[in-house]
Amino acid sequence: MDPENIKTIDEVISALEIIIAESEQNNDIAGYFAVLYLKVTICVKEGIANGFFDNGSRMEELDVTFAKRYLIAFDAYRNNQPVTEVWKKAFDLSDQYWPIVLQHLLMGMNAHINLDLGLAAAEISKGKNLTELENDFNKINQILSSLVHEVEGNLSLVWPALKYILKWTGKIDDYLVDFSMKLARNGA
C-alpha cells in the first residue's frame, strides 16, 4: 500500500497490519512501534464511531494525516530514501538488539509526537482556528493513558524483566509515562 494514497483510518489500520506482519516474519523490532500505533489507532476509530470526539470527521482527518507522516517515513527508510533526522535515528536503532524494546518505542514516540503531531495538526487546521482542535486533541491523551497498563503487560511478555521493574516502581511508571506523553503532546 502506497502511504501517500491513504485516505481513511481503515487504510491506516491496514498499512499498520502489513508492517506488523512483515516485522513478525522478519523478526524486525520496528514492528513494536507499529503494534503500539495500531492499538491507539483502533481506539481513535472506536472513539470516532462512539461520538467521543467533538468532531469525528476532523479527528479522522488528523489521524490519517498524522499516521501518513509515520507511514511515509517508514516506507522511505525501507527504500533507502531520505527521512527526517529524528525518524532516521529511530529506524537506525530498530535493527539492534540493544537498546531495549521500551527504548525503541520511546524513540518512535519521540519522532512521531514531537515532530509529526504538531505538523499534522497545523496541516489540517490551515485556514481555520487551531484552537478548535484543542479539545479533541486533548482527548487523545485520555486514550493514550487508558492503554498504558495494556502496553506494559504486552511489553512484559516480550521483555520479562519489565514485570520486575514495574513491580518495583509501583505507580511511578504510570505517572512518568502519562506525564511524558502529555508533556510531549502539549509541546506539539
- pLDDT tens digit string along 73-124? 999 999 999 999 999 998 888 776 555 676 777 788 888 888 888 899 999 9
**Which is higher by pLDDT, 171 or 9?**
9
CB 66, CB 59: distance < 8 Å: no
* CA atoms 14, 184, 158, 71: torsion sign: positive
The structure's pTM equals 0.80
pLDDT of residue 59: 95
Radius of gyration of the chain (CA): 16
pLDDT of residue 75: 96
What does the pLDDT look like over 124-179, one tens digit per residue? 999 998 889 988 988 887 787 777 667 666 666 666 666 666 666 665 445 445 54
